[in-house]
Homo-oligomer: A and B are copies of this chain.
Amino acid sequence: MPPIRLWSIEDFQIDPSRPLYEQFVEQIRAMIARGELEPGTRLPSVRETAASLRVNPTTVMKTYQELERLELIVTFRGQGTFVTQAEEAIRQTRMQLAKEAVRRLEETARSIGLSLEELWELSREKE
């Protein structure tokens, strides 16, 4: 059973100034959170992924380990790595991402002394 398809480096938006594995984690997590990678889907192996993304295998390994720690993927030895079947974990992730995003927005508003409404208005001004 092959994985849906190999990744290409163009599937990711990379900022060279930030850790690669961190950006892979974020973007694969988003793929799972929005349902683009469905539960049970088999992911390409570490070796395959490293080759297709042209990155160091240890970078992919760190990515997968972190996603595993987040309980978004599971590895079955000898069988491969799969998106978790636990939809609850995916639901939780979506909520965490939402809460975190709003928390950051509120933190920014607080730091410049604005209410959320004022921040919103300001962000909509031109120039």
Q: Which A residues lie at the B interface, using CB under 8 A?
A: 16-17, 19-20, 27, 30, 33-36, 56, 74-78, 94-95, 97-105, 108-109, 111-114, 119-120, 122-123, 125, 127
Given known contacts A16-B76, A76-B16, A112-B30, A119 and B101 CB-to-CB distance under 8 angstroms:
yes
Closest to A109 in B: B101
Q: Is the CB of A102 within 8 A of B119?
A: yes
A111 touches B34 (CB 8 A): yes
A112 and B34 form a contact (CB under 8 A): yes
Chain A interface, DSSP helix/strand/loop, else mixed: helix
Contact of A120 among B20, B102, B112 (CB under 8 A): B102
